[in-house]
A and B are shown apart, each in its own frame.
Chain A
Amino acid sequence: MKKKWNGHMRDWASKWLDLPPDVANEVPRIEWIGNDRLRVENYKKIEELTEKSISLSTKLGFLDIQGSRIVVKVIDSEVVIVEGEIKDVRYRK
Protein backbone atom coordinates (compact mmCIF):
# COMPACT_ATOMS: atom_id res chain seq x y z
CA MET A 1 0.00 0.00 0.00
CA LYS A 2 2.77 2.31 0.92
CA LYS A 3 4.70 1.45 -2.26
CA LYS A 4 1.69 2.20 -4.42
CA TRP A 5 1.22 5.58 -2.80
CA ASN A 6 4.88 6.30 -3.25
CA GLY A 7 4.59 5.50 -6.97
CA HIS A 8 1.66 7.88 -7.32
CA MET A 9 3.66 10.62 -5.66
CA ARG A 10 6.50 10.04 -8.12
CA ASP A 11 4.16 10.24 -11.10
CA TRP A 12 2.71 13.44 -9.76
CA ALA A 13 6.11 14.93 -9.14
CA SER A 14 7.34 14.16 -12.61
CA LYS A 15 4.28 15.76 -14.13
CA TRP A 16 4.14 18.88 -12.04
CA LEU A 17 7.79 19.54 -11.54
CA ASP A 18 8.66 18.75 -15.16
CA LEU A 19 11.33 16.22 -14.18
CA PRO A 20 12.44 13.58 -16.69
CA PRO A 21 10.51 10.39 -15.90
CA ASP A 22 13.62 8.26 -15.34
CA VAL A 23 14.76 10.49 -12.49
CA ALA A 24 11.48 10.82 -10.69
CA ASN A 25 10.01 7.54 -11.69
CA GLU A 26 11.66 4.16 -11.58
CA VAL A 27 11.16 3.51 -15.27
CA PRO A 28 14.17 2.14 -17.14
CA ARG A 29 16.41 4.43 -19.14
CA ILE A 30 18.03 2.76 -22.12
CA GLU A 31 20.98 4.09 -24.05
CA TRP A 32 21.86 2.20 -27.16
CA ILE A 33 25.17 3.13 -28.74
CA GLY A 34 25.67 1.80 -32.23
CA ASN A 35 24.43 -1.75 -32.36
CA ASP A 36 26.84 -3.23 -29.89
CA ARG A 37 26.55 -1.42 -26.59
CA LEU A 38 23.41 -1.05 -24.55
CA ARG A 39 23.15 0.62 -21.20
CA VAL A 40 20.09 0.04 -19.05
CA GLU A 41 19.45 2.01 -15.88
CA ASN A 42 16.80 1.31 -13.24
CA TYR A 43 16.42 -2.39 -13.89
CA LYS A 44 15.29 -4.72 -11.14
CA LYS A 45 16.67 -8.18 -11.77
CA ILE A 46 18.28 -10.42 -14.29
CA GLU A 47 15.74 -13.01 -15.36
CA GLU A 48 17.67 -14.96 -17.88
CA LEU A 49 21.10 -14.90 -19.44
CA THR A 50 22.30 -16.86 -22.42
CA GLU A 51 24.70 -16.22 -25.24
CA LYS A 52 21.93 -15.02 -27.48
CA SER A 53 19.69 -13.09 -25.16
CA ILE A 54 19.34 -11.41 -21.81
CA SER A 55 16.10 -10.66 -20.01
CA LEU A 56 15.80 -8.04 -17.32
CA SER A 57 12.80 -7.35 -15.18
CA THR A 58 11.87 -3.70 -14.89
CA LYS A 59 8.95 -1.66 -13.59
CA LEU A 60 7.37 -1.85 -17.03
CA GLY A 61 7.72 -5.63 -17.29
CA PHE A 62 10.44 -7.69 -18.87
CA LEU A 63 13.03 -6.18 -21.16
CA ASP A 64 14.31 -8.71 -23.68
CA ILE A 65 17.56 -7.98 -25.44
CA GLN A 66 18.43 -10.33 -28.26
CA GLY A 67 21.46 -10.72 -30.47
CA SER A 68 24.56 -12.80 -30.59
CA ARG A 69 27.69 -13.07 -28.44
CA ILE A 70 25.98 -11.20 -25.62
CA VAL A 71 28.23 -10.29 -22.70
CA VAL A 72 27.35 -8.27 -19.61
CA LYS A 73 30.20 -5.82 -19.52
CA VAL A 74 29.45 -4.32 -16.11
CA ILE A 75 26.61 -4.84 -13.73
CA ASP A 76 25.73 -3.26 -10.42
CA SER A 77 22.45 -2.80 -8.62
CA GLU A 78 21.35 0.06 -10.90
CA VAL A 79 23.10 -0.16 -14.23
CA VAL A 80 23.69 -2.96 -16.70
CA ILE A 81 25.94 -2.48 -19.70
CA VAL A 82 25.44 -5.17 -22.32
CA GLU A 83 27.77 -5.67 -25.22
CA GLY A 84 27.54 -7.85 -28.26
CA GLU A 85 25.73 -7.80 -31.58
CA ILE A 86 22.36 -6.52 -30.41
CA LYS A 87 19.50 -7.02 -32.86
CA ASP A 88 16.35 -6.58 -30.85
CA VAL A 89 15.24 -4.74 -27.75
CA ARG A 90 11.67 -5.24 -26.70
CA TYR A 91 9.32 -4.97 -23.68
CA ARG A 92 7.25 -7.98 -22.76
CA LYS A 93 4.49 -7.92 -20.18
Chain B
Amino acid sequence: MPNQIEGEITIECRGAMLTPFLNDVVQAGIVLKQIEWKRDELVQITMLVPDFKRVISLLRQHGCKMKIVKKSGLPFLVAKAMRRKFFAIGTIIFISLLYMMSSLVWKIDILGNEKIPTQLIQNLLQKEGVYPGQWKGKIPSQEELKQNLLDQLPQATWIGIQMQGTRVVVTVVEKKGVDQATEPTKVGPVNLVAKKDAFVVDLAVEKGNPLVKVNDTVQRGQVLVSGKYGDPTIQEGGQIVGAKGTVMGEVWYESNIVVPMQMEYKKFTGNRRTKTVPMIGTWQIRNPFSEDHPYQTFEIVSNESFLQIGKWRFPIGWIKEEYMETELEKRVLSPAQAVEAGMSQAKAEILNVIGKDGRIISQKILQQSIKSGRVYLKINFDVVENIAVSKPLLQGE
Protein backbone atom coordinates (compact mmCIF):
# COMPACT_ATOMS: atom_id res chain seq x y z
CA MET B 1 0.00 0.00 0.00
CA PRO B 2 2.74 2.54 0.77
CA ASN B 3 4.10 1.68 -2.66
CA GLN B 4 0.82 2.79 -4.16
CA ILE B 5 1.27 6.20 -2.59
CA GLU B 6 4.66 6.67 -4.21
CA GLY B 7 3.53 4.93 -7.36
CA GLU B 8 5.00 2.05 -9.24
CA ILE B 9 6.19 1.67 -12.82
CA THR B 10 6.60 -1.59 -14.62
CA ILE B 11 8.91 -1.56 -17.63
CA GLU B 12 10.20 -4.06 -20.13
CA CYS B 13 13.96 -3.88 -20.77
CA ARG B 14 15.51 -5.21 -23.92
CA GLY B 15 19.23 -5.59 -24.47
CA ALA B 16 22.21 -7.88 -24.33
CA MET B 17 23.70 -6.56 -21.07
CA LEU B 18 20.71 -7.11 -18.83
CA THR B 19 22.40 -8.90 -15.94
CA PRO B 20 25.15 -6.30 -15.41
CA PHE B 21 22.48 -3.63 -15.69
CA LEU B 22 20.43 -5.25 -12.95
CA ASN B 23 23.52 -5.58 -10.75
CA ASP B 24 24.33 -1.92 -11.22
CA VAL B 25 20.81 -0.91 -10.35
CA VAL B 26 20.91 -2.97 -7.18
CA GLN B 27 24.35 -1.64 -6.27
CA ALA B 28 22.98 1.90 -6.64
CA GLY B 29 20.64 1.12 -3.75
CA ILE B 30 17.48 0.85 -5.78
CA VAL B 31 14.95 -1.74 -4.78
CA LEU B 32 13.55 -3.69 -7.69
CA LYS B 33 10.53 -5.88 -7.63
CA GLN B 34 8.92 -8.52 -9.67
CA ILE B 35 11.85 -9.22 -11.98
CA GLU B 36 10.48 -11.59 -14.59
CA TRP B 37 12.50 -13.11 -17.31
CA LYS B 38 10.27 -12.93 -20.36
CA ARG B 39 12.38 -14.09 -23.24
CA ASP B 40 16.00 -13.96 -24.25
CA GLU B 41 17.25 -10.41 -23.73
CA LEU B 42 13.87 -9.26 -22.43
CA VAL B 43 13.15 -8.70 -18.74
CA GLN B 44 10.24 -7.06 -17.00
CA ILE B 45 10.94 -5.10 -13.82
CA THR B 46 8.88 -3.01 -11.42
CA MET B 47 10.21 -0.08 -9.44
CA LEU B 48 9.04 2.90 -7.43
CA VAL B 49 8.43 6.12 -9.32
CA PRO B 50 11.19 8.14 -7.54
CA ASP B 51 13.79 5.58 -8.71
CA PHE B 52 12.64 5.63 -12.29
CA LYS B 53 15.00 8.34 -13.56
CA ARG B 54 18.10 6.71 -12.12
CA VAL B 55 17.08 3.36 -13.57
CA ILE B 56 16.62 4.95 -16.98
CA SER B 57 20.06 6.57 -16.95
CA LEU B 58 21.67 3.25 -15.95
CA LEU B 59 19.67 1.58 -18.71
CA ARG B 60 21.13 4.00 -21.27
CA GLN B 61 24.67 3.37 -20.03
CA HIS B 62 24.20 -0.32 -20.75
CA GLY B 63 22.67 0.30 -24.14
CA CYS B 64 19.32 -1.23 -23.32
CA LYS B 65 15.94 -0.15 -24.56
CA MET B 66 12.80 -0.03 -22.53
CA LYS B 67 9.04 0.19 -22.84
CA ILE B 68 6.65 1.16 -20.08
CA VAL B 69 4.13 -1.61 -19.49
CA LYS B 70 2.12 -0.47 -16.51
CA LYS B 71 1.77 2.50 -14.21
CA SER B 72 -0.10 2.38 -10.97
CA GLY B 73 -0.48 4.38 -7.79
CA LEU B 74 -1.39 7.80 -6.57
CA PRO B 75 0.89 10.03 -8.72
CA PHE B 76 -0.67 8.65 -11.89
CA LEU B 77 -4.18 9.01 -10.49
CA VAL B 78 -3.40 12.62 -9.65
CA ALA B 79 -1.97 13.18 -13.11
CA LYS B 80 -5.09 11.69 -14.62
CA ALA B 81 -7.25 13.89 -12.45
CA MET B 82 -5.18 16.92 -13.47
CA ARG B 83 -5.82 16.08 -17.08
CA ARG B 84 -9.52 16.11 -16.34
CA LYS B 85 -9.20 19.29 -14.37
CA PHE B 86 -12.69 20.56 -14.82
CA PHE B 87 -14.20 17.25 -13.91
CA ALA B 88 -12.17 17.14 -10.71
CA ILE B 89 -12.99 20.73 -9.84
CA GLY B 90 -16.63 20.02 -10.53
CA THR B 91 -16.59 17.06 -8.19
CA ILE B 92 -15.05 19.07 -5.41
CA ILE B 93 -17.43 21.97 -5.95
CA PHE B 94 -20.40 19.64 -6.03
CA ILE B 95 -19.49 17.90 -2.79
CA SER B 96 -18.68 21.10 -0.97
CA LEU B 97 -21.82 22.77 -2.27
CA LEU B 98 -23.93 19.84 -1.18
CA TYR B 99 -22.34 19.95 2.24
CA MET B 100 -22.83 23.69 2.48
CA MET B 101 -26.42 23.56 1.34
CA SER B 102 -27.28 20.88 3.83
CA SER B 103 -25.85 22.90 6.66
CA LEU B 104 -28.16 25.81 5.98
CA VAL B 105 -31.67 26.34 7.22
CA TRP B 106 -33.94 26.31 4.20
CA LYS B 107 -37.40 26.44 5.59
CA ILE B 108 -39.13 27.42 8.78
CA ASP B 109 -42.49 25.90 9.52
CA ILE B 110 -44.59 27.43 12.22
CA LEU B 111 -47.34 25.18 13.44
CA GLY B 112 -50.12 25.41 15.97
CA ASN B 113 -50.66 29.18 16.00
CA GLU B 114 -54.19 30.44 15.51
CA LYS B 115 -54.25 33.87 17.06
CA ILE B 116 -50.59 34.77 16.99
CA PRO B 117 -49.74 35.89 13.47
CA THR B 118 -47.16 33.76 11.73
CA GLN B 119 -45.38 36.89 10.58
CA LEU B 120 -44.80 37.97 14.17
CA ILE B 121 -43.22 34.66 15.08
CA GLN B 122 -41.10 34.80 11.96
CA ASN B 123 -39.87 38.26 12.87
CA LEU B 124 -39.02 37.14 16.40
CA LEU B 125 -37.19 34.12 15.06
CA GLN B 126 -35.26 36.34 12.68
CA LYS B 127 -34.15 38.48 15.59
CA GLU B 128 -32.97 35.35 17.37
CA GLY B 129 -31.03 34.34 14.28
CA VAL B 130 -33.31 31.68 12.88
CA TYR B 131 -34.18 32.44 9.29
CA PRO B 132 -33.90 30.74 5.91
CA GLY B 133 -30.30 30.94 4.80
CA GLN B 134 -28.84 30.82 8.28
CA TRP B 135 -26.09 28.33 9.12
CA LYS B 136 -27.41 25.59 11.29
CA GLY B 137 -24.43 25.91 13.55
CA LYS B 138 -25.18 29.54 14.28
CA ILE B 139 -28.64 28.85 15.64
CA PRO B 140 -28.60 29.32 19.39
CA SER B 141 -29.30 26.36 21.61
CA GLN B 142 -32.88 25.21 21.69
CA GLU B 143 -33.42 25.89 25.37
CA GLU B 144 -32.20 29.46 25.03
CA LEU B 145 -34.30 30.02 21.92
CA LYS B 146 -37.42 28.63 23.53
CA GLN B 147 -36.98 30.83 26.57
CA ASN B 148 -36.38 33.98 24.54
CA LEU B 149 -39.38 33.33 22.34
CA LEU B 150 -41.64 32.58 25.28
CA ASP B 151 -40.57 35.83 26.94
CA GLN B 152 -41.59 37.75 23.85
CA LEU B 153 -44.76 35.84 23.16
CA PRO B 154 -46.92 36.08 26.24
CA GLN B 155 -49.82 34.52 24.32
CA ALA B 156 -47.96 31.23 24.03
CA THR B 157 -47.75 28.65 26.76
CA TRP B 158 -45.21 26.42 25.14
CA ILE B 159 -42.85 26.59 22.17
CA GLY B 160 -41.14 23.59 20.66
CA ILE B 161 -38.27 23.84 18.22
CA GLN B 162 -37.21 20.91 16.18
CA MET B 163 -34.55 20.61 13.49
CA GLN B 164 -35.56 18.28 10.72
CA GLY B 165 -32.65 18.27 8.33
CA THR B 166 -32.70 21.67 6.69
CA ARG B 167 -36.13 22.47 8.11
CA VAL B 168 -36.88 24.10 11.42
CA VAL B 169 -40.26 23.26 12.85
CA VAL B 170 -41.57 25.63 15.46
CA THR B 171 -44.60 24.39 17.31
CA VAL B 172 -46.57 26.93 19.28
CA VAL B 173 -49.19 26.14 21.87
CA GLU B 174 -51.36 29.16 22.54
CA LYS B 175 -52.95 30.12 25.79
CA LYS B 176 -56.65 29.66 25.80
CA GLY B 177 -57.76 33.22 26.31
CA VAL B 178 -60.99 34.32 27.96
CA ASP B 179 -63.72 34.27 25.36
CA GLN B 180 -64.30 37.84 24.43
CA ALA B 181 -66.70 36.96 21.67
CA THR B 182 -69.61 36.58 24.12
CA GLU B 183 -69.74 40.32 24.67
CA PRO B 184 -72.31 41.57 22.20
CA THR B 185 -70.98 43.92 19.63
CA LYS B 186 -72.67 47.25 19.41
CA VAL B 187 -75.15 47.00 16.60
CA GLY B 188 -77.43 49.73 17.73
CA PRO B 189 -80.77 49.33 19.44
CA VAL B 190 -82.15 45.81 19.51
CA ASN B 191 -85.33 43.90 20.19
CA LEU B 192 -85.20 40.74 22.24
CA VAL B 193 -86.83 37.84 20.41
CA ALA B 194 -87.45 34.24 21.40
CA LYS B 195 -84.78 31.73 20.50
CA LYS B 196 -87.23 28.84 20.52
CA ASP B 197 -90.74 27.85 21.45
CA ALA B 198 -91.03 28.19 25.19
CA PHE B 199 -93.15 28.95 28.22
CA VAL B 200 -92.09 32.18 29.90
CA VAL B 201 -91.16 31.66 33.53
CA ASP B 202 -89.41 34.84 34.48
CA LEU B 203 -88.77 38.26 33.03
CA ALA B 204 -85.97 40.57 33.99
CA VAL B 205 -86.07 43.61 31.77
CA GLU B 206 -83.48 46.33 32.26
CA LYS B 207 -84.49 48.44 29.31
CA GLY B 208 -87.28 48.28 26.81
CA ASN B 209 -90.93 47.49 26.63
CA PRO B 210 -91.86 43.92 27.62
CA LEU B 211 -94.51 42.50 25.33
CA VAL B 212 -94.97 39.16 27.08
CA LYS B 213 -95.91 38.21 30.61
CA VAL B 214 -94.96 35.35 32.85
CA ASN B 215 -96.86 32.13 31.94
CA ASP B 216 -97.20 33.23 28.30
CA THR B 217 -96.36 30.71 25.63
CA VAL B 218 -94.10 32.18 23.00
CA GLN B 219 -93.01 30.99 19.60
CA ARG B 220 -89.68 31.08 18.01
CA GLY B 221 -88.94 34.50 16.59
CA GLN B 222 -91.63 36.28 18.60
CA VAL B 223 -90.60 39.67 20.00
CA LEU B 224 -90.30 39.41 23.76
CA VAL B 225 -89.03 42.85 24.69
CA SER B 226 -89.37 45.72 22.30
CA GLY B 227 -86.67 48.34 22.06
CA LYS B 228 -89.30 51.00 21.60
CA TYR B 229 -91.45 52.52 24.28
CA GLY B 230 -95.11 52.89 23.59
CA ASP B 231 -97.56 50.79 21.70
CA PRO B 232 -95.66 48.61 19.22
CA THR B 233 -98.59 48.40 16.87
CA ILE B 234 -98.34 52.11 16.18
CA GLN B 235 -95.76 52.68 13.51
CA GLU B 236 -94.71 56.20 14.37
CA GLY B 237 -93.73 57.68 17.70
CA GLY B 238 -92.22 56.01 20.73
CA GLN B 239 -88.71 56.52 21.95
CA ILE B 240 -86.16 54.06 20.72
CA VAL B 241 -84.02 52.85 23.62
CA GLY B 242 -83.06 49.33 22.69
CA ALA B 243 -84.02 46.31 24.78
CA LYS B 244 -81.84 44.73 27.40
CA GLY B 245 -82.61 41.94 29.82
CA THR B 246 -83.18 38.23 30.18
CA VAL B 247 -86.27 36.21 29.61
CA MET B 248 -86.21 32.83 31.26
CA GLY B 249 -88.36 30.29 29.49
CA GLU B 250 -89.19 26.67 30.11
CA VAL B 251 -88.07 24.52 27.24
CA TRP B 252 -88.27 20.80 26.59
CA TYR B 253 -85.42 18.83 25.25
CA GLU B 254 -85.35 15.29 24.06
CA SER B 255 -82.10 13.45 23.91
CA ASN B 256 -81.30 10.07 22.51
CA ILE B 257 -78.44 8.29 24.21
CA VAL B 258 -76.79 4.98 23.43
CA VAL B 259 -74.71 3.38 26.15
CA PRO B 260 -72.70 0.26 25.41
CA MET B 261 -72.94 -2.20 28.27
CA GLN B 262 -69.47 -3.55 27.60
CA MET B 263 -66.67 -1.06 27.67
CA GLU B 264 -63.05 -1.68 26.88
CA TYR B 265 -60.32 0.32 28.49
CA LYS B 266 -56.68 0.42 27.71
CA LYS B 267 -54.71 -0.02 30.89
CA PHE B 268 -50.99 -0.05 31.54
CA THR B 269 -49.82 -3.18 33.26
CA GLY B 270 -46.73 -1.53 34.63
CA ASN B 271 -44.34 -3.70 32.63
CA ARG B 272 -41.94 -1.63 30.65
CA ARG B 273 -38.79 -2.11 28.69
CA THR B 274 -36.42 0.46 27.26
CA LYS B 275 -34.69 0.02 23.95
CA THR B 276 -31.92 2.22 22.62
CA VAL B 277 -31.65 2.66 18.87
CA PRO B 278 -28.57 4.46 17.52
CA MET B 279 -29.18 7.10 14.90
CA ILE B 280 -27.09 8.79 12.22
CA GLY B 281 -28.83 11.88 10.95
CA THR B 282 -32.39 10.73 10.65
CA TRP B 283 -31.45 7.20 9.82
CA GLN B 284 -32.18 4.73 12.58
CA ILE B 285 -29.94 1.74 12.84
CA ARG B 286 -32.17 -1.05 13.95
CA ASN B 287 -31.14 -4.56 14.59
CA PRO B 288 -33.30 -6.52 12.17
CA PHE B 289 -32.97 -9.67 14.23
CA SER B 290 -34.00 -8.24 17.52
CA GLU B 291 -37.43 -8.84 18.90
CA ASP B 292 -39.34 -5.86 17.66
CA HIS B 293 -42.29 -6.00 19.93
CA PRO B 294 -41.58 -7.19 23.40
CA TYR B 295 -45.24 -7.18 24.35
CA GLN B 296 -48.43 -8.16 22.64
CA THR B 297 -50.01 -4.78 23.08
CA PHE B 298 -47.96 -1.79 24.02
CA GLU B 299 -47.42 1.88 23.64
CA ILE B 300 -44.15 3.53 22.72
CA VAL B 301 -42.77 6.67 24.21
CA SER B 302 -39.64 7.67 22.33
CA ASN B 303 -37.08 10.24 23.16
CA GLU B 304 -34.33 11.45 20.84
CA SER B 305 -31.00 12.74 21.96
CA PHE B 306 -27.98 13.85 20.00
CA LEU B 307 -24.33 14.22 20.77
CA GLN B 308 -23.68 17.86 21.32
CA ILE B 309 -20.64 19.95 22.06
CA GLY B 310 -21.53 23.54 22.72
CA LYS B 311 -23.68 24.71 19.84
CA TRP B 312 -22.56 22.00 17.52
CA ARG B 313 -24.83 19.07 17.29
CA PHE B 314 -23.42 15.92 15.79
CA PRO B 315 -25.63 13.96 13.46
CA ILE B 316 -25.05 10.99 15.71
CA GLY B 317 -27.56 10.24 18.36
CA TRP B 318 -29.87 7.67 19.77
CA ILE B 319 -33.52 7.13 20.44
CA LYS B 320 -34.64 5.77 23.73
CA GLU B 321 -37.83 3.89 23.20
CA GLU B 322 -39.85 2.91 26.15
CA TYR B 323 -42.25 0.10 25.52
CA MET B 324 -45.06 0.04 28.01
CA GLU B 325 -47.25 -2.99 28.04
CA THR B 326 -50.95 -2.32 27.83
CA GLU B 327 -53.87 -4.50 28.51
CA LEU B 328 -57.48 -4.23 27.49
CA GLU B 329 -59.81 -4.28 30.39
CA LYS B 330 -63.45 -5.03 29.86
CA ARG B 331 -66.05 -3.54 32.06
CA VAL B 332 -69.55 -4.91 31.91
CA LEU B 333 -72.33 -2.66 33.12
CA SER B 334 -75.63 -3.86 34.44
CA PRO B 335 -78.68 -2.29 32.73
CA ALA B 336 -79.27 -0.07 35.71
CA GLN B 337 -75.67 1.14 35.71
CA ALA B 338 -75.85 1.75 31.97
CA VAL B 339 -78.98 3.83 32.37
CA GLU B 340 -77.32 5.84 35.08
CA ALA B 341 -74.25 6.42 32.94
CA GLY B 342 -76.41 7.44 30.00
CA MET B 343 -78.39 9.77 32.19
CA SER B 344 -75.38 11.64 33.46
CA GLN B 345 -73.98 11.83 29.97
CA ALA B 346 -77.22 13.34 28.65
CA LYS B 347 -77.36 15.77 31.53
CA ALA B 348 -73.87 16.98 30.82
CA GLU B 349 -74.75 17.51 27.18
CA ILE B 350 -77.88 19.46 28.00
CA LEU B 351 -76.10 21.66 30.51
CA ASN B 352 -73.55 22.42 27.88
CA VAL B 353 -76.28 23.49 25.47
CA ILE B 354 -78.32 25.69 27.81
CA GLY B 355 -75.38 27.62 29.14
CA LYS B 356 -74.61 28.91 32.59
CA ASP B 357 -77.97 30.64 33.12
CA GLY B 358 -79.96 27.51 32.52
CA ARG B 359 -80.95 24.78 34.93
CA ILE B 360 -82.64 21.44 34.63
CA ILE B 361 -86.01 21.26 36.36
CA SER B 362 -86.87 17.67 35.74
CA GLN B 363 -85.94 14.73 33.61
CA LYS B 364 -87.89 11.71 32.53
CA ILE B 365 -86.93 8.60 30.67
CA LEU B 366 -89.44 8.19 27.91
CA GLN B 367 -88.12 5.06 26.34
CA GLN B 368 -85.58 2.49 27.33
CA SER B 369 -84.54 -0.58 25.39
CA ILE B 370 -81.67 -3.01 25.36
CA LYS B 371 -80.51 -4.18 21.97
CA SER B 372 -77.34 -6.10 21.06
CA GLY B 373 -75.50 -5.20 24.24
CA ARG B 374 -76.41 -1.53 24.21
CA VAL B 375 -78.91 0.45 26.14
CA TYR B 376 -80.93 2.93 24.08
CA LEU B 377 -82.45 5.78 26.04
CA LYS B 378 -84.82 8.54 25.10
CA ILE B 379 -84.84 11.16 27.83
CA ASN B 380 -87.01 14.22 28.17
CA PHE B 381 -85.55 17.22 29.94
CA ASP B 382 -87.53 20.08 31.27
CA VAL B 383 -85.18 23.04 31.56
CA VAL B 384 -85.29 26.72 32.18
CA GLU B 385 -82.94 28.86 30.11
CA ASN B 386 -82.53 32.33 28.74
CA ILE B 387 -84.51 32.34 25.52
CA ALA B 388 -83.90 35.97 24.64
CA VAL B 389 -81.62 36.81 21.74
CA SER B 390 -80.88 40.22 20.36
CA LYS B 391 -82.21 41.22 17.01
CA PRO B 392 -81.33 44.62 15.55
CA LEU B 393 -84.16 47.07 15.57
CA LEU B 394 -84.53 48.60 12.16
CA GLN B 395 -85.01 52.34 12.33
CA GLY B 396 -87.57 52.35 9.57
CA GLU B 397 -90.04 50.09 11.38
Contacts and interface: CB of A to CB of B under 8 A. Distances in A.
Given A76-B26, A77-B27, A50 B33 contact: no
Given A46-B19, A49-B18, A71 B26 contact: no
A36 to B, nearest CB: 15
A74 B32 contact: yes
A45 B35 CA distance: 15
Contact of B34 (A48, A50, A71, A76): A71
Given A49-B43, A50-B37, A70-B37, A75 B19 contact: no
Nearest to B27: A77
Interface in A40-56: 45-51
A75 B35 contact: yes
Nearest to A83: B34
A38 to B, nearest CB: 14
Interface in B3-26: 18-19, 22-23, 26
B29 A49 contact: no
Nearest to B23: A45
A29 interface: no
Given A47-B19, A48-B19, A49-B18, A75 B37 contact: no
B19 A74 contact: no
Interface in A6-64: 45-51
A74 B33 CA distance: 4
A87 interface: no
Contact of B35 (A47, A72, A77): A72
Nearest to A50: B37
Contact of A51 (B18, B22, B34, B37): B37
B176 to A, nearest CB: 83
B34 A73 contact: yes
A18 to B, nearest CB: 32
Contacts of A74: 31-33
A76 B26 CA distance: 5
B22 A76 contact: no
B340 interface: no
A67 to B, nearest CB: 12
A37 to B, nearest CB: 14
Contact of B33 (A51, A70, A73): A73
A75 B36 contact: no
B29 A46 contact: no
Contact of A77 (B26, B33, B43): B26
Given A71-B35, A72-B34, A73-B33, A49 B27 contact: no
B37 A77 contact: no
Contacts of B27: 77
A50 B32 CA distance: 16
A11 B36 CA distance: 37
20 contacts: A46-B23, A48-B19, A49-B18, A49-B35, A49-B43, A50-B37, A51-B37, A51-B38, A71-B34, A71-B35, A72-B32, A72-B35, A72-B36, A74-B32, A74-B33, A75-B31, A75-B33, A76-B30, A76-B32, A77-B29
Given A71-B34, A74-B33, 17 more contacts: A45-B23, A47-B19, A48-B19, A49-B18, A49-B35, A49-B37, A49-B43, A71-B35, A72-B32, A72-B36, A73-B33, A74-B31, A75-B22, A75-B31, A75-B32, A76-B30, A76-B31
Interface of B: 18-19, 22-23, 26-27, 29-38, 43
